[in-house]
Amino acid sequence: MAAKKKYEVLQLFRDKETKNLYNVGEEYEPKSKERADYLLEYGYITEVTEEQKDSKEEKKND
């Protein structure tokens, strides 16, 4: 089973499916690829690469 992709929130939004509020900088895990594609298209989220994850973890440890 493939791991779900994770995204970083770029704009404050309330998920219409879960009703959860997502703030800028938070991690977002969509329930479906279609939902992720919609949010990507409208600029609410961006894909998080492994390199970005590593960089964030290093900053937390400093």
What does the pLDDT look like over 10-47, one tens digit per residue? Answer: 999 999 989 999 999 999 999 899 999 999 999 999 99
- Cα distances (angstroms) measured from residue 44 to each of 8, 23, 40, 60: 9, 10, 6, 24
pLDDT at 49: 76
Asked if residue 44 lies in contact with residue 30, where contact means CB atoms within 8 angstroms, the answer is no
